[in-house]
Amino acid sequence: MQAVRDAYMTNPRIRRLLQWAGHQRPVLRVRARYLTPYDALLATYPRSGSTWMRFLLYESLSGQSADFDVVNTYTGRNARRVLPGGGRVVGTHDPYSRGDRKVVYLARDPRSVVISEYKLAKRQGSDQSFDEFFFAFLEGNTNPFGSWADHVRYWMTSVPARRGHLHLVKFEELRSKPEETLAQVTNFLGVSLDASTIEAVVRNNAVERMRAKEDVAPKDTFTRARSRDIRFVNEGATQGWQDQISPAQAALLLERTRTSLDLLGY
């Protein structure tokens, strides 16, 4: 079973074969078996701002400064019990909630996501051209979690969403009004914080501070990094895709993701 889980996480093609064979749900159930009814999920598609949000939430809810070492250590089953009832905030890219629970779903414009994910792939040594990567992204073949559109559809129609237990956060709003957006998230999770605390957390995790934390992170933090010339923490841009995607690619991406974009209110 461990070998299956490892293959499922690291090889998108094997993951798709498992999906087609009807084995996705059992694997996801195994991966989520440690969740309790009091735990909340921070669910995101890769490169949608999940690292920044994890830093913001860790610092807000624990009262301790966030860096890559501590945030990576206290996620998943090791997450600290910081929610009412002893619940944890568990980060996940998986399209699986294991029943009803509070979910913070962080979404980002797919035109920005494909650019950010391509930069990460290059950092990890990929020799794909952007055109090749772009069409693989459309088909959900660039990571183990399927397509951006399918990921959004799952979460926005999931049991938590249907029961009013999913709080949608758009990355663009997190960037433009971080204090207000973060306060809404912590309130949703049942933790009320004063404005000065929220402001301090946002200030300590601004882009330049996140990059400084990346620079001093332990060498094994980014296990698949091949090029240190490409940053893990990008600029957090919301419109940077305009100079990096052709008009035809942007139009095709919007056409292929329109249903999911509508679900998000983009």
Q: How does pLDDT run across 141-197, given as a tens digit for each residue?
A: 999 899 999 999 999 999 999 999 999 999 999 999 999 999 999 999 999 999 999
Other beta carbons within 10 Å of 3: 7
Specify the pLDDT at position 232.
Answer: 54
CA 60 to chain CA mean position, Å: 18
Specify the pLDDT at position 123.
Answer: 79
Superfamily of segment(s) 32-264: P-loop containing nucleotide triphosphate hydrolases (3.40.50.300)
pLDDT in tens, 237-255: 545 566 778 999 999 999 9
Specify the pLDDT at position 211.
Answer: 77
Asked if residue 137 has pLDDT above 90, the reply is yes
Place of tokens 């949703």: 188
Specify the pLDDT at position 206.
Answer: 86
Sheet with 89-92, strands from edge to edge, namely 89-92, 40-44, 103-107, 166-170
Evaluate whether 145 touches 254 at the Cβ level (below 8 Å).
no
| Domains of the chain, residue spans | 32-264
Sign of dihedral through CA atoms 83, 84, 87, 89?
Answer: negative
pLDDT in tens, 56-113: 999 999 998 888 877 876 666 778 899 999 999 999 999 988 889 999 999 999 999 9
Specify the pLDDT at position 103.
Answer: 97
Other beta carbons within 10 Å of 39: 21
**Close Cβ partners of 198 (under 8 Å, ≥ 6 residues apart):** 60, 179, 182, 183, 186
Q: How far apart are CA 44 and CA 108, in angstroms?
A: 9
Specify the pLDDT at position 226.
Answer: 44
Specify the pLDDT at position 209.
Answer: 81
